[in-house]
Amino acid sequence: MSYEAEKGNVTMAFCGDIMPSRPLAVYREPEFLALRDLLRDSDARFANLESTVVRYNEGFPGIRTGTHMVTEPELLEDLKWFGFNMVSCANSHSLNFGEEGLLLQNRYLDAAGIVHAGTGQNLREASSPAYLETPNGRVALVAVTAHLPASNSRAAHQRVDFRGKPGVNALGFQSTFVVDSEAFAALRRIGASLGLERERQRVVDHGFRAPSELRAVDERTYEFRGDRYELGETFDIRTRCDDRDVEENLRQIREARRQADWVIVSLHNQDMVGRSWLEAKRRVDIEEQPDFVVEFAHGCIEAGADVFACHGPHVPLGVELYRGKPIFYSLGNFIFQNETLRQVPAHHFERFGLDPYGTPSDFFDIRTGNDTKGHPATPESWQSVLVVCKFNNRLLEEIRLYPVDLGFGRPRSQRGRPLLAGAELGAGILGRIERLSAPYGTVVNRLNGIGVIRAVESQA
pLDDT digits (tens, 9 = 90+) for 356-401: 889 999 999 999 999 999 999 999 999 999 999 999 999 999 999 9
Question: pTM surpassing 0.85?
Answer: yes
* Residue pLDDT, tens place only, 323-345: 999 999 999 999 999 999 999 99
Q: Mean per-residue pLDDT for 143-172? A: 89
Judge whether residue 255 has pLDDT over 80: yes
pLDDT, averaged across the chain: 93
Closest CA to 391 of 174, 137, 140, 144: 137
pLDDT of amino acid 119: 98
CA distance 385 to 390: 16
Q: Give yes or no for residue 264 having a pLDDT over 80.
A: yes
Cα-only R_g, the chain? 23
pLDDT category at 216 given cuts 50, 70, 90 is: low
Residue 224: is its pLDDT beyond 60?
yes
Bridging pattern class, strands 325-328 and 307-311: parallel
Confidence of residue 200 (pLDDT cuts 50, 70, 90): confident
* % of the chain exceeding 90 in pLDDT: 77
pLDDT digits (tens, 9 = 90+) for 7-61: 999 999 999 999 999 999 999 999 999 999 999 999 999 999 999 999 999 999 8
Q: What are phi and psi of 126, to 5 degrees?
A: -70, -35
pLDDT at 225: 83
User: Residue 274: what pLDDT?
Assistant: 67
**CATH number 3.40.50.1220 is the correct assignment for the domain at 4-162+164-168+242-338+378-458:** no
Task: Determine the Cα–Cα distance for residues 315 and 379; give it in Å rounded to an integer.
Answer: 10
CA dist 225 and 218 (Å) reads 16
Residue-range domain boundaries for the chain: 4-162+164-168+242-338+378-458, 181-231
Side-chain-side CA neighbours of 123 within 13 Å: the count stands at 17
Q: What is the 3-state secondary structure (H, E, C) of the chain?
A: CCCHHHHCCEEEEEEEEEECCCCCCCCCCHHHHHHHHHHHCCCEEEEEECCEECCCCCCCCCCCCCCCCEECHHHHHHHHHHCCCEEECCCCCCCCCHHHHHHHHHHHHHHHCCEEECEECCHHHHHCCEEEEECCEEEEEEEEECCCCCCCCECECCECCECCECEECECCEEEEEEECHHHHHHHHHHHHHCCHHHHHHHHHHHCCCCHHHCCCCECCEEEECCEEEEECCCCEEEEEECHHHHHHHHHHHHHHHHHCCEEEEEEECCCCCCHHHHCCCCHHHCCCCCHHHHHHHHHHHHHCCCEEEEECCCCECCEEEECCEEEECCECEEEECCCCCCCCCHHHHHHCCCCCCCCHHHHHHHHCCCCCCCHHHCHHHHEEEEEEEEEECCEEEEEEEEEEECCCCCCCCCCCCCEECCHHHHHHHHHHHHHHHHHHCCCCEEECCEEEEEHHHHCC
pLDDT tens digit sequence for 161-175? 889 899 999 999 998
pLDDT digit string, tens, across residues 380-392: 999 999 999 999 9
Which position has the higher pLDDT, 329 or 235?
329
Query: In this predicted model, what pLDDT tens digit does every residue of 395-438 receive, in sequence order?
Result: 999 999 999 999 999 999 999 999 999 999 999 999 999 999 99
